[in-house]
């Protein structure tokens, strides 16, 4: 063989090796995994099981094949031979959060939402969210594709109940469809359900006829419908068969005196009537009874309204945003704090009281965060803050954890598999360095999040996107 031929062969071999030598994928879920073993024993943990029951001290949780195989007192629940053992003395384990008003976008300009699917999905998981619903979609197929890629194990993030693009009437949003007739509504729901969407979200300008068409088409496909409403009242939506209403009672227009059918009187008008409402009066009691009798759940999203309320603390997680988005939110906060007539001073505590009354009356209250508005609602961090705000609203810490875990699983119809810590359920668990049953703020001290028995490192997930949220 001549020297020239040898050189050519060597070059071809080198080029072939280069072609197949792919660089490590920085987006791979494996980059954030710290525990991945067929058999894991978490020993000496405080277990807050998500049912609202008191915590149980010094417990061992055995995970096998992604499920909880054993749970009991550490003294009587030995770690199996060959198990990876993690000593959690002084630490707590809660169920993975099940949050039902989340988004994969964030406000990046006037009336515009930017795509932050990759960074937000990591932050949701880092914050302890193992299952979520995207209650509104301005990204089309992206939410659906991301859901599939996370489910395949390729990317890190929670299981996603992917909502189709909003079902709405004539509106001014640049990123939202205008659906004018029931036939158009049915076609919209059919198309996106066929693409893989698993939930429907109705919005503020929808008509009763279109809402009814959306509900009927969705229910025929065993999908649920939620709504942030204004043109349709809560009572009307309940009678039409809606499954869920967003933002507690804040958007309800049932008590607007001159409300016209199928016309939104303006969000501010509805909010003023709620702020002035007698929370112990017969009208709100009757509406609550109707919602409960019709099995309509309410989603609490106190986090987004806190950002509008003067005098409230700065929300957590701002440092993961790009500097320009952080600055934009801080300027918006200054404007909110300078508004002496802000309706939110009365509206936020009133809605807290109404949500508490709804739950005490037997209604299904679930939780979410809604990263919209003027910003400041940051995935993961805001989910923890939502639990804190539920405690401020009058729920005990274990009740707040149940609202953020088991109640969400019940709404999704998955409570036999997720939402609480019990033998046979999926091993979706959050390890917290503290005791959130005594101090709810300890939910912020997440160390490891187990999803389907695989442990993800909180710090690695957050560090991978810090200062970049708003770009991708």
Residue 459 sits in a domain whose CATH number is 2.30.40.10
If asked whether residues 172 and 285 sit together in one domain, one would say yes
If asked whether residues 295 and 429 sit together in one domain, one would say no
Distance CA 431, CA 88 (A): 8
- Complete DSSP assignment for 160-213: EEEBPSPB-SS---TTS----SHHHHHHHHHHHHHHT--EEEE-TT--HHHHHH
Strand order across the beta sheet in which 129-134 lies: 97-102, 129-134, 159-162
Residue 25 banded pLDDT, cuts 50, 70, 90:
confident
If asked whether residues 133 and 192 sit together in one domain, one would say yes
Instruction: State phi, psi for 40 to the nearest 5 degrees.
Output: -130, 140
- 3 state SS of 405: coil
Specify the pLDDT at position 22: 55
Specify the pLDDT at position 189: 98
Nearest Cα neighbor of 418 from 403, 430, 406 is 406
Residue 174 banded pLDDT, cuts 50, 70, 90:
confident
Residue 20 banded pLDDT, cuts 50, 70, 90:
very low
If asked whether residues 257 and 334 sit together in one domain, one would say yes
Contact call for residues 316 and 263 (beta carbons, < 8 A): no
If asked whether residues 444 and 381 sit together in one domain, one would say no
Specify the pLDDT at position 402: 98
Residue 307 banded pLDDT, cuts 50, 70, 90:
very high
Specify the pLDDT at position 409: 98
Specify the pLDDT at position 15: 43
**Per the domain annotation, does 18 fall within a domain?**
no
If asked whether residues 70 and 57 sit together in one domain, one would say yes
Residue 331 banded pLDDT, cuts 50, 70, 90:
very high
Cβ contacts of residue 222 below 8 Å, gap of 6+? Answer: none
**Per the domain annotation, does 106 fall within a domain?**
yes
Residue with token string 């979410």:
368
- 3 state SS of 371: coil
3-state helix, strand, coil in the chain (%, to 5): 40, 20, 40
For residue range 224-253, list pLDDT tens digits in order.
999 999 999 999 999 999 999 999 999 999
Of 375, 392, 412, which residue constitutes the final position of a domain?
412
Burial class (CB in 10 A: 0-12, 13-18, 19+), 39: middle
If asked whether residues 170 and 301 sit together in one domain, one would say yes
Q: Is the pLDDT of residue 221 over 50?
A: yes
Q: Is the pLDDT of residue 13 over 50?
A: no
Strand partners, 365: 298
**Per the domain annotation, does 196 fall within a domain?**
yes
- Complete DSSP assignment for 330-359: HHHHHHHHT-TT-THHHHHHHHHHHHHHHH
Average pLDDT score over the chain: 95
Nearest Cα neighbor of 249 from 213, 276, 209 is 276
For residue 214, what are the CA distances in angstroms to 174, 177, 189, 205, 217? 22, 14, 7, 14, 5
If asked whether residues 309 and 403 sit together in one domain, one would say yes
Task: Give the CB-side neighbour count of residue 232, counting CA atoms within 13 A.
Answer: 28
**Per the domain annotation, does 193 fall within a domain?**
yes
Q: Where on the phi/psi map is residue 140: left (φ > 0), alpha (ψ -120 to 50), or beta?
A: left
Distance CA 301, CA 377 (A): 10
Contact call for residues 230 and 204 (beta carbons, < 8 A): yes
Specify the pLDDT at position 16: 43
**Per the domain annotation, does 208 fall within a domain?**
yes
For residue range 361-419, list pLDDT tens digits in order.
999 999 999 999 999 999 999 999 999 999 999 999 999 999 999 999 999 999 999 99
If asked whether residues 244 and 176 sit together in one domain, one would say yes
Specify the pLDDT at position 10: 54
Cβ contacts of residue 5 below 8 Å, gap of 6+? Answer: none
Q: Structural domain tally of the chain?
A: 2
Q: Where on the phi/psi map is residue 307: left (φ > 0), alpha (ψ -120 to 50), or beta?
A: alpha
Dihedral (C-alpha) 204, 206, 208, 211: value to the nearest 10 degrees? -100
If asked whether residues 62 and 180 sit together in one domain, one would say no
Q: What percent of the chain has pLDDT over 70?
A: 95
For residue range 107-159, list pLDDT tens digits in order.
998 889 999 999 999 999 999 999 999 998 998 999 999 999 999 999 999 99
Specify the pLDDT at position 111: 84
If asked whether residues 142 and 228 sit together in one domain, one would say yes
In this structure, of 17-31, 326-340, 358-372, the range with the lowest mean pLDDT score is 17-31
Contact call for residues 281 and 353 (beta carbons, < 8 A): no
If asked whether residues 306 and 437 sit together in one domain, one would say no
Q: Is the pLDDT of residue 73 over 80?
A: yes
Determine the structural domain holding residue 445 and report its residue range: 29-95+420-463
Of 395, 412, 429, which residue constitutes the final position of a domain?
412
Specify the pLDDT at position 26: 83
Helix spans in 338-446 (H): 344-360, 381-392, 397-403, 406-412
């Amino acid at each position: 063989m001549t020297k020239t031929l040898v050189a050519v062969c060597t070059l071809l071999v080198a080029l072939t090796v280069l072609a197949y030598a792919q660089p490590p994928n920085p987006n791979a879920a494996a980059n954030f995994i710290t525990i991945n073993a067929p058999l894991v024993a978490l020993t000496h943990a405080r277990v807050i099981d998500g049912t609202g029951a008191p915590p149980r001290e010094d417990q061992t949780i055995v995970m096998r094949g992604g499920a909880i195989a054993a749970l009991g007192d550490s003294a009587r629940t030995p770690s199996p031979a060959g198990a990876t053992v993690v000593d959690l003395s002084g630490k707590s384990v809660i169920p993975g959060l099940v949050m039902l008003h989340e988004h994969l976008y964030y406000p990046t300009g006037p009336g515009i939402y930017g795509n932050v699917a990759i960074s937000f999905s990591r932050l949701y998981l880092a914050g302890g969210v193992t299952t979520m619903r995207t209650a509104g979609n301005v990204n089309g197929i992206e939410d659906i594709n991301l859901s599939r890629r996370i489910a395949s194990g390729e990317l890190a993030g929670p299981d996603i109940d992917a909502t189709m693009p909003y079902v709405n009437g004539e509106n001014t949003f640049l990123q939202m469809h205008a659906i004018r007739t029931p036939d158009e509504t049915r076609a919209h729901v059919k198309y996106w359900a066929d693409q893989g969407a698993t939930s429907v979200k109705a919005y503020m300008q929808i008509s009763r006829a279109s809402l009814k068409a959306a509900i009927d088409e969705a229910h025929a496909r065993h999908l649920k419908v939620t709504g942030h409403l204004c043109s349709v009242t809560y009572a009307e939506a309940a009678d039409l068969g809606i499954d869920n209403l967003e933002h507690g009672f804040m958007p309800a227009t049932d008590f607007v005196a001159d409300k016209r059918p199928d016309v939104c009187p303006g969000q501010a008008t509805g909010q003023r009537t709620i702020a002035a409402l007698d929370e112990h009066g017969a009208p709100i009691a009757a509406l609550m009874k109707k919602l409960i009798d019709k099995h309509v759940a309410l989603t609490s999203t106190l986090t987004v309204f806190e950002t509008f309320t003067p005098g409230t603390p700065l929300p957590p997680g701002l440092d993961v945003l790009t500097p320009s988005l952080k600055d934009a939110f801080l300027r918006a906060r200054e404007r909110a704090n300078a508004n002496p007539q802000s309706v939110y001073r009365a509206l936020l505590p009133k809605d807290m009281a109404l949500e508490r009354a709804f739950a005490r009356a037997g209604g299904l209250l679930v939780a979410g965060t809604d990263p919209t508005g003027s910003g400041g609602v940051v995935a993961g961090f805001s989910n923890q803050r939502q639990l804190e705000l539920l405690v401020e609203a009058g729920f005990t810490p274990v009740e707040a954890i149940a609202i953020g875990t088991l109640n969400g699983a019940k709404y999704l119809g998955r409570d036999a598999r997720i939402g609480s810590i019990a033998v046979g359920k999926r091993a979706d668990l959050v390890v917290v360095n503290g005791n959130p049953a005594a101090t709810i703020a300890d939910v912020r001290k997440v160390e490891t999040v187990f999803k389907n028995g695989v442990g993800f490192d909180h710090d690695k997930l957050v560090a991978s996107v810090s200062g970049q949220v708003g770009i991708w």
